[in-house]
Structure 1
Amino acid sequence: MKKKAKMSFESRFRQTWKDIKRDRLLLLMFLPGLIYFFVFRYLPMGGLIMAFQDFDIFSGFLDSPFVGLKHFRTLFSTPQFARIFMNTILISLYSILFSFPFPILFALLLNEMKWTKMKKLTQTISYLPHFISVVVVAGMVVDLLSPGHGAIARLISVITGKEAPYLLANPAYFRTVYIVTTIWQTMGWNAIIFIAALTGVDYEQYEAATMDGASRLQKMWYITLPAIKPTIVIMLILSLGKIMETGFDLIFLLQNSLNLSSSEVISTFVYKRGILGEHTLPNYSFATAANLFQSVISMVLVVTSNKLSKKLSEVSLW
């Protein structure tokens, strides 16, 4: 029995080695990506121990004192934590509710466009905002909404006949400004994956539907959408997994003391308190604890939404 098991192991080893030799060029191409993920994604996970320490950069991981859940208690007992947590959830939910459907609709509309040159031009123009720096985008938004010389502010003044308010100074308008800006910058780029999925739809189905007298809307509803449903579900699950990771850079750049009550989210709060050390010294352990809290919530959401999706639609990540 042992001899058979040994022979089986040796045969599997030889086969594995043959596969490696056969695919060595592909494996070499894969190696840089593997190294990147190991060095910059998996290796830093060891730093999560800081969340349970009073980490001191001079003492290092080994000599910094262990304090258990102290930094988590500090985070949850912060007076403004409830408001910050709610802001994070609301901005993320609004992003999913409004930003997520737009790339799908845009891809569907492009798919229906028959003029090839115009279709390519529209796609190219829609991709361009993605390549604009977030700093530049934030500066454009601030200038456009400025009551003194902003184009949008002047348009509001012409329509209403009154002096336009500075929208970024009003907490009630911050989320709207953020969502509209995000849609403008990401819609074209995020539509790429849906456009790619649409290329896999069998054209014969459209021809058969046309012969049966189906309208464009009916073909879109009964053929196109079901065909890209797996892609939509997977992207939605991934979006739910990022519900605690709001766009730090754009929010931080549009943030000011007047809209802080609706713009302060966990990522900006942690950056100020844990990294910059606002009102205190920088606290890397506190920042790590807050980020670990976000990661745990995100993981739970991904696993839960994946299970629900698998149960309801038989489409899932794993």
Structure 2
Amino acid sequence: MGNGTTVHEFTLEGFPAIQHLGKVLFLVHLLAYLASIAGNVIIIIITCADSRLHTPMYLFLSTYSFLECGVISAVIPKLLVIFLSGKQTISFPACFIQAFVFLFLGAVGFLLIAVMSLDRYVAICKPLHYPTIMNLKTCFLLVTACFTLAFPFITGLVVKVFQLSFCGPHIIPHFFCDLAPLIHLSCSDTRPTEMLTFVLALFVLITSLIITIIAYSNIVVTIIQLPSAKEKQKAFSNCSSHLIVLSLMYGSCVFIYVKPKQMNRLESNREAALVNTVVTPLLNPVIYTLRNKQVHRALRETMCRMKISR
């Protein structure tokens, strides 16, 4: 444990103002969790089962669905326990493991979003060069790079917070072990750790956001130049759906992490974190893939094969 640490477990405060609605909230969040897992798992299974979906776009989407399953599974089950049984304690090691899994998979997810934006940019703006640029080998290298880049950053940050001393209050004003409230509870000098958290969050989120904005700006310019009004409407419809989800994700994460004083606005962080752990994982399968006609066809054919095999 960290030097001077006397705290052996933390208490997750959850949502005390509405804790009396525990069973109702348990049911709502359980249904959202199961729907998110089901939607993302369906994407992964269909992508693996249908050879026509063995393309860069669906490789990225299935990887992103895997990350979404990991992120929400790191957080929501404990929240369900809090709602159902009121058991709010979490051990010191388990708390930091939860924080690492959530932040690591989340960071990989944002880097992957930037890669997916570049993939769409090449596909729409440079269609003739797309097969050459975005082959499967390049895709695997890009996905590997996302994991490789995020791992040392998040590991170093979590280890830095782990080494702080925790000798005072042990109540975390959140529904999971995020780094900002953990830093706030430390009795060490947290200014270097707060600044490191701010810089790393700024690097991951803003870099990913800038790449995404540049890619989609070029996509929009290309769409405007399309000759057919029907093609423009279809393309803008898909882009607007994607941008709504991206706005929710980036907006909530920038609000939570990209501020120099991590101890500010911890109360409002909980509501913003719910967007990333409940809302966007539920919307992503619908927005990114399940509205896609090619996926609908693959899903119908897969279900037909399953019926025939029975």
TM-score, with normalisation over the residues of structure 1?
0.28
The structure that has the greater radius of gyration is 1
Structure with more contact order per residue of length (Cα contacts < 8 Å, sep ≥ 6)? 2
TM-score, with normalisation over the residues of structure 2?
0.29
